[in-house]
Structure 1
Amino acid sequence: MEPLGWEFEESLFDSGSEIDTAAPSFPYTAKACAAKWFCGEIRNEDCAEVLTAKKFSGDLAYRQQNFQKALQEYSSCFLLLPSANTAMRRDVQESQARCLLHLGKHEEALGIAQKLEKDHHDGRVFSCAEF
């Protein structure tokens, strides 16, 4: 059977003898957060940390099926989000819609979903004044 023309030349590949396999001279230590660090009072004025804590608290409440508390956390997070943070704004709004569905508030959930779809198709950036 004839070759199909997709073979590689051996000269394209490094023999591997030049690869440094020695361990780094310093040990790597990953940072670790305490379990549920976001559940306590956040004393840091850093907006990003406050937003992350609120989002994580909402996620934990959702996982525990406490949808009312999760909705409150997501809603307070959304109010603090800068309009330029479109990825987190979308994530938080999707989370709000899921909570609303679990709480039987289908019209409100649908309203958020329609707004998200419209903004996605329009390529718009959200602003706090719109909600």
Structure 2
Amino acid sequence: MEIFGSTFDDSVFSEARDRVCVCLSSYSAKVCEPEWFCDNAALDTDDSLEKQKVFKFRGDLAVRQGDYQKAYEAYSSCLEWIADNNLTIRRDVLEGMARCCTKLGQKDRALDLAHLLSKEASNTCHLSSLLLLKVSIYQHFGAVGSKMSSLQQLCSLLPFNPWHWFSLGQMCLQLSESAGEQTDRETEETQEEAEELNEDRVWLKACTCFIRTRLLLRILQQQQASFVLQRSENALQTTEDVLQRLNPKETTVQTLTEVMSEDLVPEKMREDYQDGESLASVHVQSFRERWWNKILLIGLLKTDGRQRQADMES
């Protein structure tokens, strides 16, 4: 049974009809020297597209060399020459600028650029890229609650992607193992986010995420081979090891498995997993609405939390 868009449309393999043969005139390929765009002469043109390319390449090279201030300046110059209808390059450059600001320690500017990207997001690809950008920004500046919120949004937007669940689970695991060691850097977090960083909540959320990861990886393994399958197997083994360390009660594991597998049916997965779908037609339930409230309603937080406390005291 194929899911996740792994099937092909038969028309891809059909032969073209009435194909017209066109004889091309002689063509001489343009030959460029290595790093030709670093030469000032590369800007001696009235072609806005050529100037855009020069500044974009300069920015990319500077990022590779670790010179983020130089990269930011090049990307800023590139932005001036991007055509209004070239949204792909514009988004790429804005994201590059945001990542440079992050490396330079300019949190507010990085988030402002991320906000610009959010205004122009028109499909789930755009939104998932934006959320991944926010995760990297929040991680760099130690905003734990905001990072967790962005990862939860990723899991809600793409609920059948095991790697987002795996990342959220790893974060919760780190928080659970370092409970009580958070410093004043968390003062920016909201009251609601602070509550979500409660030790028992983080522990239970870690269990939830890794159980969901395990369920998804087992489904995906049926369609994988080679190094892709090896990656999934490695992640699955890590997941199993982590769950042993978290040591939830068997009843907790069974209940969480039931809750987190309710939507894992092939028909629903084919319908919902449409990466690149227009945001106008996407309704994304929050992490709390879709999963967390069910878990809290069952009472796992209270019952397993008391058991964990008793185990620690004994």
Pairwise TM-score range, normalised by the shorter structure:
0.5 to 0.7
CA spacing shift, 1:98–1:36, aligned 2, 3 Å? same
TM-superposition CA deviations, 1:72-126 (whole Å, max 9, x none): 000011022221111111010000001000000011111111221232049xxxx
Q: CA deviation at 1:45?
A: 1.8
> For 1:33, what is the secondary structure of its paired residue?
coil
TM-superposition CA deviations, 1:39-96 (whole Å, max 9, x none): 0022222111111000000111111111001000000110222211111110100000
For residues 79 and 31 of structure 1, what CA distance do their matches in structure 2 show? 26
For residues 30 and 39 of structure 1, what CA distance do their matches in structure 2 show? 21
> For 2:105, what is the secondary structure of its paired residue?
coil
Q: How many residues align?
A: 95
Range moving further from structure 2, 28-37 or 83-92: 28-37
> For 1:95, what is the secondary structure of its paired residue?
helix
Query: What's the C-alpha RMSD, in Å, of the aligned pairs?
Result: 1.9
Q: Work out whether 1:37 is the aligned partner of 2:36.
A: yes
Identify unmatched segments of 5+ residues in structure 1. Answer: 1-27, 123-131
CA spacing shift, 1:52–1:100, aligned 2, 3 Å? same
> Partner letter of residue 81 of structure 1?
I
For residues 86 and 48 of structure 1, what CA distance do their matches in structure 2 show? 14
For residues 52 and 29 of structure 2, what CA distance do their matches in structure 1 show? 23
TM-superposition CA deviations, 1:10-29 (whole Å, max 9, x none): xxxxxxxxxxxxxxxxxx98
> For 1:80, what is the secondary structure of its paired residue?
coil
Q: CA deviation at 1:30?
A: 6.0
Q: TM-score, normalised by structure 2?
A: 0.29
Aligned partner of 2:116 in structure 1 is: 115
Q: Summarize the alignment of residues 81-96 of structure 1 with structure 2, pairs less than 5 Å apart.
A: 81-96=82-97
> Partner letter of residue 39 of structure 1?
C
CA spacing shift, 1:34–1:120, aligned 2, 3 Å? same
Aligned partner of 1:61 in structure 2 is: 62
Identity of aligned residues (%): 42
> Partner letter of residue 78 of structure 1?
L
Aligned partner of 2:77 in structure 1 is: 76
Q: Work out whether 1:47 is the aligned partner of 2:77.
A: no
Q: Which has the larger helix fraction? A: 2
Q: TM-score, normalised by structure 1?
A: 0.66
For residues 30 and 39 of structure 2, what CA distance do their matches in structure 1 show? 19
CA spacing shift, 1:87–1:121, aligned 2, 3 Å? closer
> Partner letter of residue 38 of structure 2?
C
> Partner letter of residue 35 of structure 1?
P
> Partner letter of residue 33 of structure 2?
A
Aligned partner of 1:102 in structure 2 is: 103
Q: CA deviation at 1:31?
A: 4.8
Identify unmatched segments of 5+ residues in structure 2. Answer: 1-26, 124-314
